[in-house]
């Protein structure tokens, strides 16, 4: 009998690596080669909830597979639907940590906002995830598994776009995000086009460089939120480590067009001088600017900029020759919008705040 813990998780490796493991296994047990593709298809593309459910395979083979390999699920602990159709999922992980995922339908598209860490270490002043502290990095399976669960849902949720804008800082977990990107994009994986996958970061430079080195056209969004170091420092402690000028330089050499995220904080970062400074930064690296209304639930002490004033701020940017969009808020009634994701921790460990070099995992 194979011990449960020794089974190999086929969902925590790239489809290419899973194929290798299956080829070797099927040779060993004397099964025809075409079975490999049958199983591979049921990992991500047309996912099966278990080996048992792969009824196209002989029963004995399903049992042999189940003894050698693991096909884990992410457990949905709660599911909430907003009046605007946005849906929020709470996943409970094997070690009891929890993460949130948000599905946002918009016309023909469904964008899935996925998490890359349980909690977040960055402590941005306006964000609820930062307030819960950092628990741990997610594995590649736990990241891409959020999308797999949408395909397994009844009825399936047909995800067309992915944004790494849920809980956590993807570039502080680059090793796992790197593998997860392959699972999401590979035609033998979930097969989602690279241009439909956006990684959002506060500006962790090694991660931006690593993403730029990938051949696929993944998109990059940078959370700017303040157009000068003084103000950015107050709002985003990470700015000490990666100051604005360096982030802009990294965006300049990134070979695809970058998007700036800018959350509108009433009386804090929404004056005309801020628009002019932001326009200069955006023009420096040909960035597209997304203005995000402030959502409640982050730290207290901030108030949203009024919709009229956001429009005026957008006009100022446009007058400077910058392309800009005002983001629609989705799922605010179920606390599913940007910056609202947080879950109660069950463990007793205190939240981690420190930013050490070893938190940045670049392959």
Q: Which two tokens stand for residue 294?
A: 């402030």
52 annotated active-site: no
Binding-site member from 200, 239, 259, 305 for ligand SAH (CB under 6 A): 200
Asked if 287 and 281 count as a contact pair (C-beta separation under 8 A), the reply is yes
Taking the complex as a whole, the smallest distance from the CB of residue 272 to ligand SAH amounts, in Å, to: 21
Contacts with ligand SAH in 232-291 (CB under 6 A)?
Answer: 261, 263
Among 11, 13, 65, 127, binds ligand SAH (CB under 6 A): 127
Task: Please select the residue that binds ligand SAH; options are 36, 220, 322, 338, rule is CB under 6 A.
Answer: 338
Whose Cβ is closer to ligand SAH: residue 59's or residue 257's?
257
For 103, phi then psi, to 5°, come to: -105, 125
Least distance CB 43 / ligand SAH (angstroms): 27
Alpha helices in 165-290 (DSSP H): 174-185, 205-212, 229-235, 244-253, 272-284
Total residues at interface with ligand SAH (CB under 6 A): 18
Closest CB to ligand SAH among residues 189, 297: 297
Helix (H) / strand (E) containing 259: strand 258-264
Q: Is 133 in the site for ligand SAH (CB under 6 A)?
A: no
298 binds ligand SAH per the rule CB under 6 A? yes
Q: Which is nearer to ligand SAH, 196 or 295 (CB)?
A: 295
State how far the Cα of 338 lies from the Cα of 25, in Å rounded to an integer.
44
Both tokens assigned to 235: 């709002």
The torsion angle over the Cα atoms of residues 71, 89, 353 and 297, rounded to 10 degrees, is 180
CA distances to 30, 137, 244, 274, 337 from 143, rounded to whole Å, are 34, 10, 28, 36, 19
Judged by CB under 6 A, which stretch of 65-73, 198-206, 278-286, 309-317 contacts ligand SAH?
A: 198-206
Q: Which part of the chain contacts ligand SAH (CB under 6 A), choosing from 88-96, 121-129, 208-216, 245-253?
A: 121-129
- Least Cα distance to 166 among 236, 226, 91 occurs for 91
Q: Name which of 99, 92, 128 is nearest 113 in CA terms.
A: 99
Helix axes 307-319, 272-284, angle to 10 degrees: 50
Q: How far is the CB of 11 from ligand SAH (least distance, A)?
A: 23
**Beta carbon nearer to ligand SAH, 12 or 200:** 200
201 near ligand SAH, rule: CB under 6 A: yes
Q: Of the two residues 135 and 201, which places its CB atom closer to ligand SAH in the complex?
A: 201
Q: Which residues within the stretch 164-193 sit at the binding site for ligand SAH (CB under 6 A)? A: 165, 169
Q: Taking CB under 6 A as the rule, does residue 202 contact ligand SAH?
A: yes
User: Minimal CB distance to ligand SAH: which residue?
Assistant: 339
Centre a 10 Å sphere on the Cβ of residue 125 and count the other Cβ atoms it contains: 17
C-alpha 241: how far from chain center: 22
Handedness of CA 163, 168, 169, 171 (dihedral sign): negative
Q: Closest approach of Cβ 48 to ligand SAH, in Å? A: 31
Q: How many CB atoms lie within 10 A of CB 245?
A: 11
Which residue is catalytic, options 100, 149, 169, 316?
100
3-class SS of residue 205? helix
- Output the six-digit token pair for 193: 């086009």
Interface with ligand SAH in residues 81-120 (CB under 6 A): none
CA distance 307 to 100: 28
Q: Of the candidates 99, 275, 292, 322, which one interacts with ligand SAH according to CB under 6 A?
A: 292
Structure tokens given for 205: 């430079």
Active site residue 216: no
Q: Kindly list the catalytic residues.
A: 100, 338
Applying CB under 6 A, the residues found at the interface with ligand SAH are: 124, 126-127, 165, 169, 200-202, 223, 225, 261, 263, 292, 294-295, 298, 338-339
């Amino acid at each position: 009998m194979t011990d449960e813990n020794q089974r190999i998780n086929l969902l925590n490796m790239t489809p290419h690596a899973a194929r290798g493991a299956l080829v070797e296994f099927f040779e060993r047990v004397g099964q025809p080669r075409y079975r490999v593709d049958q199983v591979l298809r049921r990992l991500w593309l047309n996912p099966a909830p278990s080996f048992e459910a792969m009824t196209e395979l002989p029963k004995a083979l399903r049992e042999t597979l189940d003894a050698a390999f693991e096909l884990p699920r992410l457990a949905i602990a709660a599911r909430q639907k907003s009046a605007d159709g946005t849906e929020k999922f709470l996943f409970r992980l094997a070690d009891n940590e929890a993460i949130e995922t948000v599905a946002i339908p918009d016309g023909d598209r469904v964008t899935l906002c996925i998490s890359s860490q349980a909690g977040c270490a960055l402590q941005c002043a306006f964000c609820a995830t930062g307030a819960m502290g950092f628990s741990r990095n997610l594995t590649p399976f736990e990241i891409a598994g959020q999308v797999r669960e949408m395909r397994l849902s009844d009825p399936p949720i047909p995800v067309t776009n992915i944004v790494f804008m849920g809980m956590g800082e993807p570039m502080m977990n680059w090793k796992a995000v790197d593998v997860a990107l392959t699972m999401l994009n590979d035609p033998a994986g979930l097969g989602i086009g690279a241009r439909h996958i956006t990684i959002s970061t506060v500006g962790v430079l090694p991660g931006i460089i690593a993403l730029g080195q990938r051949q696929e056209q993944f998109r990059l969004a940078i959370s700017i939120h303040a157009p000068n170091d003084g103000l950015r420092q107050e709002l985003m402690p990470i700015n000490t480590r990666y100051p604005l000028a360096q982030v802009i330089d990294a965006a300049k050499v990134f070979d695809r067009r970058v998007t700036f995220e800018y959350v509108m904080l009433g009386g804090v970062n929404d004056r005309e001088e801020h628009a002019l400074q932001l326009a200069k930064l955006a023009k420096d690296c040909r960035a597209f600017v997304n203005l995000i209304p402030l959502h409640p639930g982050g730290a207290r002490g901030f108030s949203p900029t009024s919709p009229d004033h956001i429009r005026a701020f957008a006009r100022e940017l446009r007058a400077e020759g910058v392309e800009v969009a005002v983001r629609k808020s989705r799922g605010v009634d179920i606390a599913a919008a940007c910056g609202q994701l947080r879950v109660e921790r069950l463990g007793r460990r205190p939240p981690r705040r420190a930013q050490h070099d070893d938190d940045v995992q670049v392959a």
